[in-house]
Structure 1
Amino acid sequence: MTLFTRTLHLSVRLIRVQARGSTQIHCKYSKKTANIIDGKKISAEIKAEVKKEIDQWVGQGHRRPCLIAILVGEDPASQKYVENKMIACKAVGIESKTIRLADTTEESVLLTQIDKLNQDSNVDGILVQLPVPEHICEKKVMNAVDPQKDVDGFHTINVGKLMANADTFVPATALGVIELIKRYNIPTFGKNIVICGRSKNVGLPMALLLHSDAKYELPGHEATVTLCHRHTPPEELEFFAKRADIIISATGVVNLIKPQMIKPGACVIDVGINRITTEEGKTKLVGDVDFEGVSKVAGYITPVPGGVGPMTVAMLMFNTLKAAKQLVNNNN
């Protein structure tokens, strides 16, 4: 076989790709649509697992886990997010309640309310829905929540534990992304990962988990991580993205990630949630990724909606059960 013939043969050889529950055959350089990472399906699996654990927990004589959400103001998006969390609580068997406060509520009143919940032994998890009104200091509110009940993973102590790879509450969205990668068997060991967005709640936690050593109490995923953000020049972002085996975007910038930025076969995780108005005047949810174009190049891709969003709620349920078990163990 000549070098030319061998090269031609290799360029069209078929690669067997394992996709959840089925085997698909793809030409290495074909432009077939990427495998869709189904966040709805995986989140349903996780909630079913949490429900089973809660039923066993209650069967052992423990009370049901309890999650309290505090909603300050009347932001429609925040109201919807909290509503979805309460629906999920009911589905998995977690007791829940939403405390609603006016957007004029003083910071001191909110802090007092949090302190009461910290002292309540029947409450396992506390979350304050973000954003809070501008006159309230978000950092002070996050650090007012007892770290043992901080199911959002936003308290400085829990952030510090995450950096040290100690067992802690991982922010639900970041944990959801990691879980999607794991359950779809996307390899991370030695791979190049580009994260667009450096927020303390999403981008940075993912970077900490993905780059670190697997030997720690909170195992890392052994990847080489590049963390890009709003001040990364577009040409530099494209330079890094083209070399990435996994791209995760969490910026809220529509169509930030374009097809020409994608390495063929890469995994693309879209955390962005943006509301746009279509030509017909309707509101539509889209992410940071040009889904139609990128899906023709990528190997795996998450849709918006239906990708990372459902995972955030599912991992909040996971964290609430974890908090309930830890509080019992710590009191024994």
Structure 2
Amino acid sequence: MEKIDLKSGFVNLVGIPNSGKSTLINKLVGRKISIVSHKVQTTRFCIRGIYNFHLPKKLKSQIIFVDTPGIFLPKRRFEKAMVTAAWSELKLTDKVVFIHDVLKKIDNNTKEIIKKIFQIKPDVILVLNKIDLLPKEILLKKISEIKKFYDFEETFLISAKNGSGCSKLLEYLAIKMPEHSFFYDENTISDLPQSILASEITREKLFKNLNQELPYNLTVETEKWVINTDETINIQQTIYINKQSYKPIILGKQGQNIKRIGTLARKELEKLLDCKIHLFLHIKFKKNWMEDPSKYSSIGLNYNA
């Protein structure tokens, strides 16, 4: 009987905000575990997604993808904790994948981030995302441009949205994982508690339906999770805001805005959890919620970062 190699390791997905990290991890693991929006800094903490790769008679490999907050210059304590978490994960990972949106320029900020990543991990994999949105001749020029700066271990061209190029990336990473027994059960897709996922789904709907700075000044917590005898679930969530003036905006005229947000969140949760959901949303003013250490520890961020 042939010996099957068993491998398992961690892959850190890093990049500037809105490069497609969350879309990619959802595509790679085959299920939504990280929220997505067109606004920058949507991801606030590190999220792990697990993919099990099988090569018949040769290899079984478990890849633990870590979706990190986008790297940017933080201004507030909460932002600093987010960015610190992203950098800290780099030191613990087996492989680093730097994701770049090919529609964006490689500015000095991006160059500095790549430089710092290479100082921590010398074998960085480059993933160029959204290749389906760029003409081939411009894409080739972009590839040549970015590869001038550093010697990436390997380069992959993908579209995280439609999955193009993702299978090649998965196979490459599976082979590159260190020999190790699986860290997670083969049926596990993410280590994110369902209560936090539920909070994140609601926060995603708030991000997509509120304008300007408002989404960055709120957080969502799941306060109660009750499984009923008919197997439906009651979920009670609180939306914390740091300005009283935000409440009427979130509510909307005659409560229509929060009703729409709640409906969108409930429908997605029902799809993810495969059961009937009763979702109750409450808005609570807490001026200094960003200074509350418990709001950090509950999602794995360091208040003193």
* TM band (smaller chain): under 0.3
Q: TM-score, normalised by structure 2?
A: 0.27
The structure richer in strand per residue is 2
Q: TM-score, normalised by structure 1?
A: 0.25
